[in-house]
A = this chain, B = another copy of it.
Amino acid sequence: MSRRHMILAGFFYNPQGDHRMSWRHPDAPEREVFGLDYYRSLAEAAEQAKLDAIFIADHLGVWDTYPSGMLHYANARLEPLTLATALAAVTKNIGLMVTASTSYSEPYNLARMFASVDHISNGRIGWNVVTSALAEEAANFGRDAVIDHAVRYQRAAEFLEVAKALWDSWADDALLIDKASGAFADPARVATLDHQGAHFRVRGPLNVPRGPQGHPLVVQAGSSDPGKELAAAHADVHFAVLRSEEEGRRYRADLDARLARRGRAPESLKILPGILPVVAPSRKEAEDRQAELEALMPDRIGLDLLSSWAGIDLSSFPLDGPLPDLPDQNSFEGWKTWLKIVHDEKNKGLTIRQVARNIANTGSVPMVAGTPSEIADQMESWFLSGAADGFNLMFPLLPDDWLRFMQGVIPELQRRGLFRTEYEAGTLRDRLGLKRPENRFAAARAIAAR
């Protein structure tokens, strides 16, 4: 099953935009980020542009380990699953990919909510599975420190096993609703799990029938080795941080090999690298716009962010001196994707101040800037070379950059035949070219009945 069109998701974590100080921009929204109307207008613009989905990132806490966090950072936000559910009620076609953590919740609760929103949205919900790497998050859930990386990923894998079994606990034909006989459901087509694992014991069945997508779309975003293994085992969509087309092709090959080892076809996992698209009359003007945002960054934030990503408090080191030895990437228990960015070649030999500015300002994904045509060129190249199935669009400033992209770049991609001009019928899975998962219990019953 090949897909002619690229997959596009409009991303946000900060509702003011992906640049950490975007909230200070004169055009940034203020208190309206705490109401539905702001998001509804973003969603409507994206739906008008026929985007596949909105992707909402999340953390289970504020960022205040370092002193600048609470003062300068836009820590307050809405919870994404409830926000996405409200958006599902006021949109018709666009998908909603929502971040939720497997480390600090129960599979029955999350599986149930996602199943419920799958019904409410007519099959448009996706779950971005994360494991929560921040110390601030751990402390909100009774822990002195972040759970070990390996344990987090073991728990995530078991969590997904249980969630998928719960989604399968009602066969698609289990509901009879036979008023005459009084049979609401066929007990033989409703399965208990009696799951007993290292992290969870869950009896089941779920109390929500199987949804339009069978399983809500599963998205995974961590690119550590256990992260990629989790994606290969369970995900439909993988959100990657890639710096070049070449890295994208290598990354695709790596994941294809992992999929093959599990008997999965390459097209069963869509890879969406994040890009930072900035529409401007020229690359130069786009860079000027970025510089305008960079000028809003207090020095202290960059340093504190670097401390956080590196897992070392750097406040006592000379700002214009070199970085101390960084933690080993293999044994690091924090957010490996971020540590990897600090370790990047381009930061070698730079001072702490320089590295701090680098990471605080440019973020983690490549900027794709210029005219709509120039941006479309780059996206087309990544897409056609097989480096990407589409993109997670991370805009520096919302709503401006979001609207510029929808109004400028989308029509250009449509003209080139790279993006849909109308929504196809069906669920989010259908539109992404992903199969509706078979029901494991129904399949087992069919084998047993032979």
Assess the B116–A108 pair: CB atoms within 8 A.
no
Q: How far is the CA of A105 from the CA of B105 in the complex (A)?
A: 7
Bound Cα distance A59, B205 (Å): 13
Binds B, one of A181-189, A252-260, A338-346, A430-438: A181-189
Interface window among A67-75, A224-232, A316-324: A67-75
A82 to B296 Cα, complex, angstroms? 37
What is the CA–CA distance of A76 and B171 in the complex, to the nearest angstrom?
12
Q: With A87-B89, A205-B62 as given contacts, are A185 and B75 in contact (CB-CB < 8 Å)?
A: yes
When distances are taken between beta carbons in the complex, the residues of chain B under 8 Å from A31 are 175, 177
Of the candidates B82, B185, B202, the one whose C-beta lies within 8 Å of that of A120 is B82
Could you say which of B21, B64, B78 contacts A119, with CB atoms under 8 Å apart?
B78
A76: min CB distance to chain B, Å: 4
Task: Give the interface centre of A59, A82, A136, A141 by most chain B CB atoms within 10 Å.
Answer: A82
Asked whether any CB of chain B lies closer than 8 Å to the CB of A5, the reply is no
Interface mask (A174-198 → B, CB under 8 Å = 1, otherwise 0) = 0101010011111100100000000
**A139 cross-chain contacts in B, Cβ below 8 A:** 201-203
Within 8 A of B (CB), among A197-211: 200-205, 207-209
Please, how many angstroms separate the alpha-carbon atoms of A296 and B109 in the complex?
Answer: 32
Residue contact B76 to A207, C-beta cutoff 8 Å: yes
CB of A36 within 8 A of CB of B120, answer: yes
Q: A131 contacts the other chain (Cβ, under 8 Å)?
A: no
A137–B261 Cα distance when bound, in Å, is: 38
Judge whether A404 is part of the interface by a CB distance below 8 angstroms.
Answer: no
In the bound complex, residues from chain B placing their C-beta under 8 Å from that of A205 are 62, 64
Whole-angstrom distance from the CB of A164 to the nearest CB of chain B? 15
Contact B142–A200 (Cβ < 8 Å): yes
A70 to chain B, nearest CB (A): 4
Q: Flag if A78 contacts B208 (CB, 8 Å).
A: yes
Closest to A23 in B: B184
- A36 contacts B89, CB within 8 Å? yes
A66 to chain B, nearest CB (A): 12
Does A182 lie within 8 Å of B112, measured CB to CB? no
Chain B hits for A185, CB < 8 A: 70-71, 75-76
Any B CB within 8 A of the CB of A441: no
Name the one of B23, B116, B187 contacting A179, with C-beta atoms under 8 angstroms.
B23
Cα A70 to Cα B184 in complex, Å, equals 8
Q: Interface digits, A52-92 against B, CB 8 Å rule (1 contact, 0 not)? A: 00000001111010000011111111110111011111100
Residues of chain B within 8 A (CB-CB) of A21 are 182
Q: Is the beta-carbon distance between B182 and A115 smaller than 8 angstroms?
A: no
Question: Is A382 in contact with chain B by the CB < 8 A criterion?
Answer: no
The answer to whether A140 and B182 touch across the interface, beta carbons within 8 angstroms, is no
Q: List 9 A-B contacts (CB under 8 A).
A: A26-B179, A31-B175, A31-B177, A62-B190, A70-B187, A71-B182, A79-B112, A79-B116, A86-B88
Q: A26-B179, A60-B108, A86-B89 are in contact. List 13 more A-B contacts (CB 8 A).
A: A34-B209, A60-B207, A61-B108, A72-B182, A72-B183, A75-B184, A76-B185, A79-B115, A86-B120, A104-B109, A105-B106, A108-B141, A139-B202
A residues neighboring B (CB under 8 Å): 21, 23-26, 28, 30-31, 34-36, 59-62, 64, 70-79, 81-83, 85-90, 104-106, 108-109, 112-113, 115-117, 119-120, 122, 136, 139-143, 170, 175, 177, 179, 182-187, 190, 200-205, 207-209, 296, 298
Closest 6 CB pairs of A and B: A79-B116, A139-B203, A89-B89, A86-B89, A70-B187, A142-B201
